[in-house]
Amino acid sequence: MSSATSVIEPIVFRWHQAEITAIAPVTPHVKSVRLRCALAQTYRAGQHVDVRLTAEDGYQAQRSYSIASAQDGSGTFELMIEALPDGEVSGWFSQCAEVGDRVEMRGPIGGSFSWDGPDGGPLLLGGGGSGVVPLLAMLRRRAQHWRAIPAALIYSARTHAEMIALAELEQLAATDPQVSLHLAATREPGGKRIDAALVAGALTRIGAPGKVFLCGSNRFVAAASDLIMAAGVAPGLIRTERFGA
Amino acid sequence: MVTRGFVGRRQPSETGARLPPGQYLTDDFPILQIGPNPIVDRATWRFTIREGSRPIKAWSWDEFEALPRTTWHGDIHCVTKWSKFDTTWEGVSFDDLLADAGIAAPTGFLLAESYDDYTTNVPVADLVGGRALVATRYAGEPIHPDHGGPARLFVPHLYFWKSAKWLKGLRFTQTDTAGFWELRGYHMYGDPWREQRYIGD
């Protein structure tokens, strides 16, 4: 037992109060929700939090949401919450939540799907739908402190109108020569899904990636993983998060 | 702490009684893993039981398929809060594995080890007595690689991160030794009915 042991402080996730400080629509189905919470002091881009809501009679529901913001010292962070059909928790956020409301949170969770500058690059990011949210946090982190690290984002969504933070991403790609944006709108006329050409275009811009993060539906992540491995990227560089079926 | 205006979607009482705290029912089969599916070929697949670094017994795919089979039917629960009811799994029980290896469990704990270098720890007491399989079939079919095929650990009374996908072996350890997620804040044991999601729960 002496080999390969290291002292690791146990991570304990306790519930914290969080107060909503701002809500704004970002797409027809997604709202940006900014919350003030002690957890906002220390997290890594790509991590998520568990959110818990409690009814009058004590009934509780929990869901996980990726953090969209990079740490900014404000004591707040931003979630992007997509209103799902019959969504128990997302429905509350989309229809009921107001500034000043309080919820409970714990985390940040997800050490393997997270990035900071010392982890290096180049960064190849692939997001499907709201799976772009943790990748947005990584790009924001990079923009704060690590602009020398090349980054490419492949972003697939049904339509341009449903792309989260599209204006910010386009502005970033237009002004930062080390960032490239590769969009696939799957449900628009002439639209397409992620394919080998899109992956090749991203790899041409950044060179061989040092880190790959993919997040989205299972179908998107499976397709993106296969294409990226087919392009010669080692499987061990790829980290994935999936939601839905 | 009550959340203003939150009512929640109550489950029918029959469903609610089957759902551990904090879980919701899904008809989907969500897929969660740390990276891409590793490529696992049945022709070269080996399953090895070790005590520490010492191999005790290894099986090829054909040898493994010839072992006695056990079927399990029931509900599974993921730490990401979904539960799925009435699933059917088939494989080789941990008891039958030990019997075929001709050993009793040499220690009280083990680490499940996967082809993608994922690991997770489980006490031996939670594997014996028909409580766990090395599963090779789901719903009557070979397990799809997305769900851990060709073989995955199956310990349905614990959160499903303990049921390691793409299993390549079981390593007995002298002490309860944290695996991949357990090093990252997940609970060492992971009982859904006590909602042991993370350390300290």
Q: Do B24 and A109 touch (CB under 8 A)?
A: no
Q: Which of A8, A62, A238 sits opposite B22 (nearest CB)?
A: A62
How far A20 CA sits from the closest chain B CA (Å)?
Answer: 12
Q: Do the domains A16-109 and A117-243 sit in the same CATH topology, yes or no? A: no
Which of B5-14, B65-74, B110-119 is the least confident region? B5-14
CA distances in angstroms from B133 to A14, B69, B90, B97, listed in the order given? 33, 9, 8, 9
Q: Which of A88, A229, A243 sits opposite B9 (nearest CB)?
A: A88
Residue A183 has pLDDT above 50, yes or no: yes
The DSSP secondary-structure symbol of B167 reads: E
Q: Which residues numbered 40-59 in A keep a CB inside 8 Å of some CB on B? A: 50, 52-56, 59
How far B82 CA sits from the closest chain A CA (Å)?
Answer: 10
The helix (run of H) or strand (run of E) holding residue A135 is: helix A133-145
Share of chain A above pLDDT 90, in %: 88
How far B105 CA sits from the closest chain A CA (Å)?
Answer: 18
Shortest CA distance from A110: residue in chain B: B184
Considering only CB atoms, which chain B residues are within 8 Å of A56? 2
CA distances in angstroms from A96 to A34, A87, A103, listed in the order given? 15, 12, 12
Q: Do B36 and A238 touch (CB under 8 A)?
A: yes
3-state helix, strand, coil in chain A (%, to 5): 30, 35, 35
Between CA B183 and CA B111 the distance in angstroms is 13
Q: What is the ipTM of this complex?
A: 0.84
Shortest CA distance from A235: residue in chain B: B36
Short-list B46, B51, B188, B36, CA closest to B116: B36
Residue A4 has pLDDT above 50, yes or no: no
- Average predicted confidence (pLDDT) for chain A: 93
Considering only CB atoms, which chain A residues are within 8 Å of B22? 52, 60-62
Q: Residue A167: how many CB atoms within 10 A of its CB? A: 9
Q: Residue A58: how many CB atoms within 10 A of its CB? A: 7
Residue A5 has pLDDT above 50, yes or no: no
The whole-number pLDDT of residue A12 equals: 79
Q: Do B1 and A102 touch (CB under 8 A)?
A: yes
B176 residue type, one letter:
D
Q: Do A62 and B81 touch (CB under 8 A)?
A: yes
What count of CB pairs under 8 Å joins A to B? 117
The whole-number pLDDT of residue B28 equals: 80
Of the two residues A42 and A136, the one the predictor is more confident about is A136
Q: Considering only CB atoms, which residues of chain B are within 8 Å of chain A? A: 1-10, 21-22, 24, 26, 28-38, 80-81, 146, 173-175, 177, 180, 183-185, 197-200
Q: What is the tens place of the pLDDT at every residue in B4-46?
A: 999 998 878 888 899 999 999 988 888 888 888 999 999 999 9
- Is the CB of residue A164 less than 8 Å from the CB of residue A170? no
The whole-number pLDDT of residue A10 equals: 63
Q: Residue A242: how many CB atoms within 10 A of its CB? A: 22
- Is the CB of residue B123 less than 8 Å from the CB of residue B82? no
Residue A1 has pLDDT above 60, yes or no: no
Q: Residue B94: how many CB atoms within 10 A of its CB? A: 27
Considering only CB atoms, which chain A residues are within 8 Å of B159? none
Of how many residues is chain B composed?
Answer: 201
- Is the CB of residue A26 less than 8 Å from the CB of residue A80? yes
Q: What is the tens place of the pLDDT at every residue in A205-235?
A: 999 999 999 999 989 999 999 999 999 999 9
The whole-number pLDDT of residue A244 equals: 56
Q: What is the tens place of the pLDDT at every residue in A69-92?
A: 999 999 999 999 999 988 999 999
How far A109 CA sits from the closest chain B CA (Å)?
Answer: 8
CA angle centred on A22, ends A18 and A27, rounded to 5°: 115
Residue A7 has pLDDT above 70, yes or no: no
CATH 2.40.30.10, applies to A16-109 = yes
Q: What is the tens place of the pLDDT at every residue in B129-183?
A: 999 999 999 999 999 999 999 999 999 999 999 999 999 999 999 999 999 999 9
Which residues make Cβ contacts (< 8 Å) with residue B112, sequence separation at least 6?
A: B119, B120, B121, B122, B153, B162, B164, B167, B169, B170, B179
CATH label, B44-194, candidates 3.90.420.10, 1.20.1740.10, 3.30.470.20, 1.10.472.10:
3.90.420.10
Whether the predicted model's global pTM rises above the 0.95 cut: no
Between CA B85 and CA A50 the distance in angstroms is 23
Considering only CB atoms, which chain B residues are within 8 Å of A218? 30-31, 146
Between CA A136 and CA A142 the distance in angstroms is 10
- Is the CB of residue A217 less than 8 Å from the CB of residue A243? yes
Q: Which residues numbered 162-191 in A keep a CB inside 8 Å of some CB on B? A: none
Considering only CB atoms, which chain A residues are within 8 Å of B81? 62-64
Q: Do A240 and B174 touch (CB under 8 A)?
A: no
Q: Which of A55, A229, A235 sits opposite B6 (nearest CB)?
A: A55
Considering only CB atoms, which chain A residues are within 8 Å of B5? 92, 96-97, 101
Q: What is the tens place of the pLDDT at every residue in A135-171?
A: 999 999 999 999 999 999 999 999 999 999 999 999 9
Shortest CA distance from A228: residue in chain B: B36
Domain boundary assignment for chain A: 16-109, 117-243
How many angstroms from the chain centroid is the CA of residue B147? 11
- What is the arithmetic mean of pLDDT over B90-99? 98
CATH 3.30.1490.20, applies to A117-243 = no
CB of A111 within 8 Å of a chain B CB? The answer is: yes
Q: Which of B5, B8, B34 sits opposite A112 (nearest CB)?
A: B34
- What is the arithmetic mean of pLDDT over A11-16? 87
How far B75 CA sits from the closest chain A CA (Å)?
Answer: 17
